[in-house]
Amino acid sequence: MYLYGAGGHAKVIIDVLDSENVKVLGLFEDMGTKTSYQGIPVHPGIQTKDQSFSLLDAPLIICIGDNTARAGLSILLDARFGIAIARSATVSASATIGEGTVILQGAIVQADSIIGRHVIVNTDASIDHENIIGDFVHISPKATLCGKVQVGEGTHIGAGAVVIPEIKIGKWCVIGAGAVVIRDIPDFTKAVGNPARFLPIKEEQADYYP
């Protein structure tokens, strides 16, 4: 496996892959000066025009926590993407996991949930039955999504947030840490507090849209 990014999120994914005896063959980094990390070579990223990620001899995972950056890189890299699931995670056999997605230590994904591409299901996050999680979403540590929740593309669910059953959260939303979401949330909305109150995000201010 190759990893794109050489920061803290990459360190966690290296641990996940080590737990599954998957060797990390190399890291790619855009702006850093590292040449190696834990004995793994670090190579320049996409600013090197002669680098062809489609020719890598193993899958790649984008190890960048920012949803916008991860979405843009997934298009630019034109790579074959892998999946990383921690040994301590619990993932139902009936769940569907998209390419580029990582499910970290202690996370739970229950029956018939659908997890999109390049999603981060972070430490101890809980996704209950029949959730639908869009591409480029980040479910932060200890967030809890009850049954039949839908989360749109690019949304960030903050640490410790709780979403009650059958709620629909739009695309490119931000759910604050510890928020309790008890009603549907439209696209491009921030939601904070208990119960969560809405703060609209101006669409033209967002960095990435499909």
**Cβ neighbours for 68, distance < 8 A, ≥ 6 positions apart:** 136, 154, 206, 207, 208
Burial (CB < 10 A; 0-12, 13-18, 19+), residue 40, is: middle
Give Cα 12 distance to the centre of its chain: 13
Q: Are 63 and 2 within 8 A, CB to CB?
A: no
10 and 3 Cβ atoms separated by less than 8 Å = yes
Q: What is the rounded CA–CA span in Å between residue 165 and residue 177?
A: 18
Identify the active-site residue in 9, 43, 129, 156.
Answer: 129
Contact partners, residue 27, CB within 8 Å, separation at least 6: 2, 3, 4, 5, 6, 10, 34, 37, 40, 41, 42, 43, 63
Alpha-carbon distances, residue 21 vs 14, 66, 164 (angstroms): 10, 27, 37
129 catalytically annotated:
yes
Report how far residue 43's alpha carbon sits from residue 77's, in angstroms, rounded to the nearest whole number: 14
Q: Distance (Å, rounded) from C-alpha 164 to C-alpha 147?
A: 8
Residues with active-site annotation: 129
